Structure 1
Amino acid sequence: MYFGKVKHQNHDRLPPNQQVTSGWPVLHVGDVPYYNKDLSNWDLRIGGLVDRPTVLTFEQLLSLPETSQQNDIHCVTGWSKFDNEWQGISTRAIADHVGIREEAKFVMVEAEEGWTTNVPLEDFLAETSLLAYKHNGESLTPEHGYPLRVVIPHLYFWKSAKWVRAIKFRSVNQQGFWERNGYHMYGDPWKEQRFAWD
């Protein structure tokens, strides 16, 4: 598969066995969800071990403080894309909004088409993590997660679930979709934690 690979590579930023791409490959299994532009039927459910379980419309989500992040992303299939600009809501702002209970240690992100992915709470709340609705100044396309995706750039990009619809805070770690199908529970690209046996 051709990704429009960049010839020069900054090895200080490039995890092992990754190649830099100037494009943004579209990789997923199943259908791509499409929404009306007004998003009147869309909501984000936040629950589990929180003080204030919440359902946010897209308009309510946009009323939360916006943040911007620049980072590199690394796909488990071997491509990396440098210098991505994201706009969205900090995961810490979401946590403050609902009040996370002390016993919460993990997060399960739920998305359209039954997709789920799990991350430790400290990774979900990392300074660079956010719920993104824009990439490089433009709204996300449907293929890249419109209207909302989680971005956790220090982990392999399957952890940055597209088409997010729910966030649940939990006391125990449970496998998400790809983790049930052989992917690593954590997914550190610098340690090449691609699969369960790595």
Structure 2
Amino acid sequence: MTDSVSLSIGGDVERPACLALAELRALMDAELVADFHCREGWSRLGERWRGVRLRTLLVLAGAADAAGYVTVGSGEYTAVLTRGQAEDGRVLLALEHEGAASPRRAGFPRLVGPAEWDCFLSVKSVDRIEVTREPQQATAAAIALARLER
């Protein structure tokens, strides 16, 4: 990963933050092993990811108790999670895959979660997290499914 990676956390939080790569690495607190199933018809079993739990980042920023939604974005691509989904201990902002760090062009930091998630929720090159009381518009499903229709 390059040192230019940064992640902003904002919205309904007490302590908005902009975290550099070194800061994200210092927060790494979890590993996830999960199957990944793509709607294109392929699967990868037992993928191993290491990173920081999304709930750790929400605590760091002081997410408001009344905020029920977390939007994770990369450019125009956004996935909206309920607060319950975001605080699931299996939901990570991954910085490593199969023991290796990857540059942003390969999709890191990357939102990953349990095997039952739709594949389009695995947001690559995450650049922002926004905590809100109402759900924002999610574009992930529309963008990902449009690719499949081509």
The TM tier, using the shorter chain, reads 0.7 to 0.9
TM-score of the aligned structures, taking structure 1 as reference length: 0.66
Check if 1:92 corresponds to 2:50: no
Q: Offset of 1:51 from its aligned partner?
A: 1.2
Match of 1:138 in 2: 100
3-state SS of the aligned residue for 1:44?
strand
**Uncovered stretches (5+) of structure 2, i.e. residues with no partner:** 146-150
Q: Aligned equivalents of 1:64 and 1:97: distance in 2?
A: 10
Alignment partner for residue 113 of structure 2, among 137, 152, 159?
Answer: 152
When you count strand as a share of all residues, which structure comes out higher? 2
When you count helix as a share of all residues, which structure comes out higher? 2
Alignment partner for residue 16 of structure 2, among 40, 48, 53?
Answer: 53
Amino acid at match of 2:36: I
Match of 1:32 in 2: none
Check if 1:126 corresponds to 2:88: yes
Task: Provide closer, same or farther for how the CA distance between residues 118 and 150 of structure 1 changes in structure 2, counting only shifts above 3 A.
Answer: same
Greater RCO, 1 or 2 (C-alpha within 8 Å, sep 6+): 2
Identity of aligned residues (%): 27
Q: Aligned equivalents of 1:90 and 1:59: distance in 2?
A: 16
Q: Offset of 1:72 from its aligned partner?
A: 1.1
Match of 1:70 in 2: 33
Match of 1:102 in 2: 65
CA contact (8 A) 1:45 1:167 kept: yes
Q: Offset of 1:57 from its aligned partner?
A: 0.8
Q: Offset of 1:174 from its aligned partner?
A: 2.5
Amino acid at match of 1:129: V
Q: Aligned equivalents of 2:27 and 2:113: distance in 1?
A: 19
Amino acid at match of 2:89: E
Amino acid at match of 1:60: E
3-state SS of the aligned residue for 1:164?
coil
Q: Aligned equivalents of 2:42 and 2:137: distance in 1?
A: 24
Task: Provide closer, same or farther for how the CA distance between residues 142 and 102 of structure 1 changes in structure 2, counting only shifts above 3 A.
Answer: closer
Q: Offset of 1:69 from its aligned partner?
A: 1.3
3-state SS of the aligned residue for 1:122?
helix
Superimposed CA distance per residue, residues 140-159 of structure 1 (whole angstroms, 9 cap, x where no aligned partner): 3555403x111123311110
**Uncovered stretches (5+) of structure 1, i.e. residues with no partner:** 1-36, 184-198
Q: Offset of 1:181 from its aligned partner?
A: 5.4
Superimposed CA distance per residue, residues 84-133 of structure 1 (whole angstroms, 9 cap, x where no aligned partner): 11111111211121111111111111114x22111111112111110001
TM-score of the aligned structures, taking structure 2 as reference length: 0.85
